[in-house]
Amino acid sequence: MGEAKRRKTTLGEEYGQDTRILPWVPITKSQAEQFVNLTTRGAWIGIFLMVAAWITIRFIGPAFGWWQVVF
């Protein structure tokens, strides 16, 4: 516990707060991690939607006679 108390006195009010990426950017490391997770999830959703649209346009639509695929 001695190290934690020493760190608390050294940091003062900043003790226990999340650290920033850069001192002049108001974004913390946890916020940056959340942003990466959100954009990764969004990319996977976009990939899934693109594959679903491709399957619909290429196979489902012509099978039901909605349109014809022209080569």
Per-residue pLDDT at 16: 66
Q: pTM for the whole thing?
A: 0.67
Backbone angles phi, psi at 17, to 5 degrees: -90, 150
Q: What is the pLDDT of residues 59-71, one digit of tens each?
A: 999 999 999 988 7
Closest to 39 in 3D by CA, of 50, 51, 29, 31: 31
Per-residue pLDDT tens digits for 11-52: 777 776 777 778 888 888 889 999 999 999 999 999 999 999
Q: How far apart, in whole angstroms, are the C-alpha atoms of residue 10 and residue 3?
A: 10
